[in-house]
Every structure is written in C-alpha cells, then in structure tokens.
Structure 1
C-alpha cells in the first residue's frame, strides 16, 4: 500500500506510519504527557489577552528587522515599544 497522506505539505512514508504505530503499541507514559502543559507558557500570574493589530508590509519588515537584530520576537518588540511609549 502506498501512502498519499501529507502532514504540513510533506508526504508521510509507510516507514513513518509503521514507526508511529509501533510507538503507540508500546504505550505512552501518561504521567509524562500530562506534565507537558498546554498552550504557550504564561507571561505572569494573570492571563494574557490577544490583541489584533494591523500593520503595513513596510511596518512588518521594520518590526521583523529589529526583532532579528535584537534576537527577540515580534511580540517582545511590540510590548517593549508600548512600555517605552507609556513611560
């Protein structure tokens, strides 16, 4: 049987499927899976709120360049800019 299934645009091979099946047959450490947590890590004691922001392509390019230069994420750069402007 030839697989035509894809994950993230990549063809899944029969070997991968067999490996995943063997892993499942061997069983999983349920306690280890429960310890992994869910979602993104928190930023503090209080829940964070997601805020949508529309930017032009030029603004995104500028933001990404600064984030790359400083080794930060887009979100970190935006949060710092908000903190600095409110000070």
Structure 2
C-alpha cells in the first residue's frame, strides 16, 4: 500500500534549493560580473516598486483624510 495521507506538494525549502542551484549554474555559465549585474537590476526594481507603493499609500491616506465624513449625532425620531 503506497498511498500516503500527507500532502506531497513541494515546500518552500525545495524551491529555495532549486533557486540556489539556478544561481550556481548561472554563476558557472556566465560569470560573477553578470550575476552581480542581474542582482543589482533585481534590487533596483524591488526598491522602485517599494517606493512607488509607499508614495501611493501616502497619497491615498491624504485623499481619504480630505473626504472623511463626520458622524453627526441625531435625536431619536418617532416613526408614524
């Protein structure tokens, strides 16, 4: 009986090993300068997306603050 009840999907650790193997193969194939250039492009892209999200979030907060509604207490009304 080869059936196992546990989940057999690949885990994060497996994918990290695959990424490490890809980086080693890339390093062996094209050399250290190309790998550094690739990592710098990825780092600049991640920083740019992060900066855009931070500036966009502050713009949304300011926009919401300007259009915020204030709750006005009202007396109880009798229904007819």
TM-score (norm 2): 0.28
Q: Which has the larger radius of gyration?
A: 2
Q: Looking at secondary structure, tell me which structure has more helix per residue.
A: 2
Q: Looking at secondary structure, tell me which structure has more strand per residue.
A: 1
